[in-house]
Structure 1
Amino acid sequence: MVGSTTVNTVWDTKTQTFHGGQEHRFLNNFIEDFSVTTNYLGTPAGALEAAKEAIHDIHHYPAANQEPAKTSLAEFLWPNGDHQQHHGRLLMGNGASELIDLVVRQCLKNQAQGKGFDYQPTWKGSPWNVQYQEYQRSAATNGFKILEPSNPDRVDMLCIVNPCNPTGDYFSVEPLKAWIKANIATGGTVIVDESMQPWHSADFRNDSLISEHDFAKEMWDEQKVSIHVMHSWTKIWSCTGLRIGSVICPTADHCEALKKIQVPWSVNGPALKFVEAVVQDQAYLDETWENTTRLRAHLVDRLLALHPEWVIHGKSFLSWVWIDMGSQALADKAVDLAREAGVPVRSGTPGYKCLSFVRVAVRKEAEVDVLISAWKSL
């Protein structure tokens, strides 16, 4: 039937990149979504109520300057009193996806101005074999030459997801800085996606580029390399339907350049109110840091008890596990069984082309029981 939607027709494979988080709407027996890396706690209740309340104001335009939500987010990022100094470098967007596209297009413009419109700029992702695909998709769409991660050449645009989704690899801040210096060309643009980095610990800021102001300034002043720190806030606060992202630019001027090509009212009213409230919910983050590592270890133990030969990747603090099941046939069957049990997982085949891999989100023990039960016949 024309216009009908199924799990197999959600994505236009000619123009879009596959992503998890779509199957729940097609499952009559849905229990829990293991296919997305959102916080096991679910959406923070207070912030959800703030977003609901904002619905009553949808007859008004949202704030064009994203305030006071942007200031609230700046205070969260830089709580030691220097948020005003860096506020002008911060821009919010309709999820990280919008901001990724803005930075890629601005990089393309900068390269054309510096080297001519017939020059094809080069792009490279993380040193790991695969990462979140939206960066490469946007670069390819905008005409960049895509280099393999193993290519040693310096590139015009460098994009790294750190921690890497889905592989779980992670650079602490000093190795990350060294890798950037070794791989970016003079005058180039860098995006470091730290969407999953706040799971690191209560001390996450000190192992993050959000605190490396001198490094960003040095790279810009000495090499004209512009470093952008990207966040999708919809994972740590489990609000993917609201679409909330931010980017920290190297300077306020870089931020202004992005604003010029960003559509107005990019972030809607309920999302702005959500941000205002959620950054105040310290108890939610404390519980996240206290329990995610424990729940992930529990999930790993249950999986290895089922199949000791499986290889599980990823840092202990992350909100998912990346499992190499050894064969595509076994991985495909695991995906099917999980879906049939109402607990969909993320296949490594579409998008990532990791045929024997499956990604499983960290969830509570009772929900893990359902998944393990579904996989007992593997």
Structure 2
Amino acid sequence: MTTVKENEEVWDTKVQQFHGGQDWQFLDNFVEDFSVTTNALGTPKVALEASKEALYNCHHYPPANQEPAKSSLAKFIWSNDYSLHHDRLLLGNGASELIDLVIRSAPLGTWKPGPWDVQYKEYQRSAETNGRVILQPQDTTPAKLTCIVNPCNPTGEYKNIVDLKHWIGNNVEDGGFVIVDESMQPWLSRDFRADSLISQNEFIYSLYESRQVSVYIIHSWTKIWSCTGLRLGSVICPTSAHCDVLKKLQVPWSVNSPALAFLDAVVKDTAYMEQTWALTPKWRAEIIEKLKALSDAIVQAKNDEGYAWEFYGKSFLSYIWINMKSKVVAKEAVAQARAAGVPVRNGSLGYDRPTYVRVAVREPSKVDILINAWDELGRD
């Protein structure tokens, strides 16, 4: 069973930000990883085969211009008018590399996260590493650099496009940078583009022209297409000139050949996306129903409604953020899930939320293993 010590051996917590997704390698009885927010359908097979085929060319450098994968992604993002925006798009070795590139290129000054209670920590890690003054989410002062994860990981909170644009306008200084992480937004529906900043090119241009505010849109594609080991991310810059600045900072051949081949193929797999939009909300609702039954059993055993678990996140998302109301119960839940070979995300490590766990949406037979592991949870 994975221990905190083993997690600390993977992450040098003195200098690195803790992330989940490491437990599986320590479990002899590993069944399924509920600790990461990847797609429950698993890795798309056609794209995986394309990636494997690309290994036969590993004696060649990958294309320095990231083509044809970059153009294929641009078509996926913008459809017919992709050529108008293609030069604003840059691929990276996961979103993490691009987060760091944008933050390094931003003007010095304050940094503020989105309004959520807690969000993905890589933005703050990079801001702190680059010596920025950190503001709290509740601070109403506009910042020189603002970063919002929307939908929020891990809490699942979400601003629609109207509210998001309003929030951007009020939370960044003139001449500042805004990074919007929309990695989980494509789960919304087949119409996700309409409620995304990728559809708001005029707004982004106008904000830069009127206030010199630079808006960057980050995507980690490794979650929706379940390929975290390949490292695939992209950033949409406010202008092609902004993109050129990032290219100067980025090391050559940042994205390897198998990852580029995977991306070129996966954006054309429409059947996979349709299945994702159909099954994810269905399976998520079923998991919550089973978790509520566990919560009800605890409430009955304790004879106290204060022990009722709270479930957070939009219905389309690939994860559930759960407040188990007790540090002891949450710790026990993490341990029992690991013991059953189905690790969940510990809210204490990295997020400093010791009563919370995050559970990924997974197919029903794997969910039953987790539910059985938690059958007697918190009743003593």
CA distance in 1, matches of 2:72, 2:170: 35
Shift of residue 7 of structure 1? 3.5
CA distance in 2, matches of 1:215, 1:140: 29
CA distance in 2, matches of 1:264, 1:137: 24
Q: What does residue 71 of structure 1 align with?
A: 71
Instruction: Please report the TM-score for the alignment, with normalisation by the length of structure 1.
Output: 0.95
Give the total of aligned pairs. 362
CA distance in 2, matches of 1:141, 1:8: 20
Q: What does residue 29 of structure 1 align with?
A: 29
Counterpart among 247, 252, 261 of residue 273 in structure 1: 261
Q: Secondary structure at the match of 2:6?
A: coil
CA distance in 1, matches of 2:207, 2:350: 33
Contact 1:7–1:26 (8 Å) recurs in 2: no
1:22-60: per-residue Cα shift (whole Å, max 9, x none)? Answer: 010110000000000000000000000000000000000
1:303 aligns with 2:291: yes
Q: Secondary structure at the match of 1:18?
A: coil
Q: What does residue 114 of structure 1 align with?
A: none
Please tell me the residue identity of whatever aligns with 1:64.
A
CA distance in 1, matches of 2:8, 2:216: 35
Q: Secondary structure at the match of 1:163?
A: coil
Contact 1:123–1:139 (8 Å) recurs in 2: yes
Shift of residue 15 of structure 1? 1.1
Q: Secondary structure at the match of 2:10?
A: coil
Shift of residue 20 of structure 1? 1.1
Q: What does residue 284 of structure 1 align with?
A: 272
Counterpart among 217, 227, 230 of residue 239 in structure 1: 227
Q: What does residue 230 of structure 1 align with?
A: 218
Please tell me the residue identity of whatever aligns with 1:10.
V
Q: What does residue 118 of structure 1 align with?
A: none
Q: Secondary structure at the match of 2:116?
A: coil
Please tell me the residue identity of whatever aligns with 1:227.
V
CA distance in 2, matches of 1:16, 1:298: 36
Q: What does residue 128 of structure 2 align with?
A: 140
1:213-264: per-residue Cα shift (whole Å, max 9, x none)? Answer: 0110011000000000000000000000000000000000000010000000
In structure 1, the gaps of 5 or more residues are 112-120
CA distance in 2, matches of 1:258, 1:245: 14
Q: What does residue 321 of structure 1 align with?
A: 320
Question: What does 1:1-378 align with in structure 2 at a 5 Å threshold?
Answer: 6-79=6-79, 81-107=80-106, 110-111=107-108, 121-308=109-296, 309-378=308-377
Contact 1:20–1:35 (8 Å) recurs in 2: yes
CA distance in 1, matches of 2:278, 2:99: 31
Shift of residue 18 of structure 1? 1.1
Instruction: Please report the TM-score for the alignment, with normalisation by the length of structure 2.
Output: 0.94
Shift of residue 8 of structure 1? 3.5
Shift of residue 63 of structure 1? 0.3
Please tell me the residue identity of whatever aligns with 1:224.
Q
Please tell me the residue identity of whatever aligns with 1:165.
N
CA distance in 1, matches of 2:120, 2:12: 18
1:122-172: per-residue Cα shift (whole Å, max 9, x none)? Answer: 000010110000000000000100000000101000000000000000000
CA distance in 2, matches of 1:7, 1:259: 34
CA distance in 2, matches of 1:196, 1:62: 28
CA distance in 2, matches of 1:188, 1:158: 8
In structure 2, the gaps of 5 or more residues are 297-307
Q: Secondary structure at the match of 1:9?
A: helix
1:169-219: per-residue Cα shift (whole Å, max 9, x none)? Answer: 000001000001011000000000000000000000000001100110011
Please tell me the residue identity of whatever aligns with 1:251.
T
CA distance in 2, matches of 1:345, 1:370: 12
Identity %: 60
Contact 1:34–1:345 (8 Å) recurs in 2: yes
Q: What does residue 117 of structure 1 align with?
A: none
Shift of residue 6 of structure 1? 3.4
Shift of residue 355 of structure 1? 1.0
CA distance in 2, matches of 1:7, 1:136: 21
1:47-78: per-residue Cα shift (whole Å, max 9, x none)? Answer: 00000000000000000000000000000001
Please tell me the residue identity of whatever aligns with 1:355.
P
Of 293-302 and 17-26, deviating more is 17-26
Q: Secondary structure at the match of 1:21?
A: coil
Please tell me the residue identity of whatever aligns with 1:315.
K
Runs of 4+ in 1 over 3 A off after TM superposition: 5-8
CA distance in 1, matches of 2:221, 2:114: 21
Q: What does residue 300 of structure 2 align with?
A: none
Of 11-20 and 365-374, deviating more is 11-20
